A and B are shown apart, each in its own frame.
Chain A
Amino acid sequence: MDTNEKALIMDQDKLKRTLTRISYEIIEQNKGIDDLVIIGIRTRGVPLAKRLANKIEEIGGKEIPTGVLDITLYRDDLTTLSEQPILKKTEVPLDIKGKKVILVDDVLFTGRTARSALDAVIDLGRPKHIQLAVIVDRGHRELPIRADYVGKNIPTSKKELVSVKLTELDGEDKVVIEEL
């Protein structure tokens, strides 16, 4: 798919500041860091979850457990896709019963990924609550879902693509709008 980079939304510093702000918001809203578990939704939610956990640990002085969620098995469109998605591991190495789960993803768009992630987390146990943190909310929701922590709201057209690039996967940190 050919795309043109249309606008730079966040550079490395801005992304760093955004993650710091979200970290403080998470601590504030949860009245501390007890029982927090941060779970990244594959693929880009995973490094973002790790960064948030590190930041919260830096501020709160206590290690925050993290996990990785693959939502492929919970998609509602598996049999209508032209090609089946590659399945990757879900790794949540602790019992989430009674924990405060923060789900992390890069972009919130239709809400279908978040819905699948909610189902996937609930199948792992009964958390106290689940909150959602995203770097960009670009609108166009198809389900009644909203994020608890948003890096930036970016109204987009459906022809545009919001791309969050991360050093761990893409070699650089930035958020851009691309046009299809």
Chain B
Amino acid sequence: MVLKRKDLLGLKDLSKEELELILDTADSLKEFATRKYKKLPTLKGVSMINMFYEPSTRTRASFELAGKYLGADTVNINSSASSVVKGESLVDTGKTLEALGVNIVVMRHPMAGSCKLLADNVTSSIINAGDGTHEHPTQALLDMMTIREQLTSLKGKKVAIVGDIAHSRVAKSNIWGLTKLGAEVALSGPPTLLDHNKFTKLNVTCHHKVEDALKDVDVVMALRIQKERQGTTLIPSLREYARLYGITKERLSLAKKDALLLHPGPINRGIELTGEVADSLKSRINEQVTNGLAIRMALLYLLSGGEQNGNIA
């Protein structure tokens, strides 16, 4: 099994085998993150650019370190400090990077589909680090890795995703990935942030009452309330959201006894989950970050190897 792709744009079009290959490769690479000396020669001569049109701390740092640890040359570009402010189009920026010999472009962009647009126009490999409300494949992969690592397998496991499903690219990538690997997904959120008709088509269950979604699940995944995307029109107030959907100790006790708690970060403490829950033994939030590094190293490795990919000579 090999990953014969130029780009990684989302989990929707990945096969079960491709998902497992990425997770297995990341498992093998995780040992490396605990080493004293973290520098491999694997991607010597490969250059990558992190192009972030939206703020990010962990995803960008994680990609940058993943590239550096594998021996690639990494450069960061912020949209506020790039030619974008001068009016250059995305495709033109991509062509410029291509002319500079960039092999891999990691991009985060507020527009859904922007990574696909870039991927269709350049020969460099494009990795989606979050495109609007569409997908955030590496975050979902690290969630899946964390669950698989703790619970051995995803098959038959019940995962509840709670929060702003409508705007969450993390939730969408997770729905594609988790269901492909045999997990059962239950979604919960306010009616304005979770369209039952739309999501039940994806083989998941939808619950407006959060307690219904949490009953006997193996994993509780709380999502961040995205103030930047929804404005203040879709929920009456953050306080009300916290009261109706926030993960508290009591709500978490509805899940299985050894259930895991995940959150993609950054946490709005006291809103999506209480501080007590975030720091509890069930929380795997820090493991998620470590696994994110392994997942990103795995993808850089898998997208770079092999002439047949035609992307890196």
Contact = CB atoms under 8 A, between A and B. Distances in A.
A125 B43 CA distance: 21
B306 interface: yes
Interface in B230-261: none
Contact of A84 (B24, B41, B302): B302
Interface stretch (A31-39, A56-64, A74-82, A137-145): A74-82
Interface residues of A, number: 23
B306 A81 contact: yes
B2 interface: yes
Contact of B28 (A88, A123, A125): A88
A81 B4 CA distance: 13
B286 to A, nearest CB: 22
Given A74-B41, A79-B312, A87-B29, A124 B305 contact: no
Nearest to B302: A84
Contacts of B179: none
B301 interface: yes
A130 B180 CA distance: 45
B313 A79 contact: yes
A171 interface: no
A84 B125 CA distance: 16
A138 to B, nearest CB: 26
B288 interface: no
Contacts, number: 69
A126 B256 CA distance: 46
Interface in A48-95: 70, 73-76, 78-91
B305 A123 contact: no
A78 B29 CA distance: 16
B307 interface: yes
Contacts of B27: 89
B40 interface: yes
A73 to B, nearest CB: 4
B304 interface: yes
A5 interface: no
A11 interface: no
B41 A79 contact: no
A87 B2 CA distance: 11
A172 interface: no
B305 A84 contact: yes
8 contacts: A73-B32, A74-B42, A75-B42, A79-B304, A82-B308, A83-B306, A87-B24, A124-B35
Interface of B: 1-3, 21, 24-25, 27-29, 31-32, 35-37, 39-43, 45-46, 70, 298, 301-302, 304-308, 312-313
Given A78-B304, A79-B305, A90-B28, 7 more contacts: A73-B70, A74-B40, A79-B45, A79-B313, A86-B24, A90-B32, A125-B36
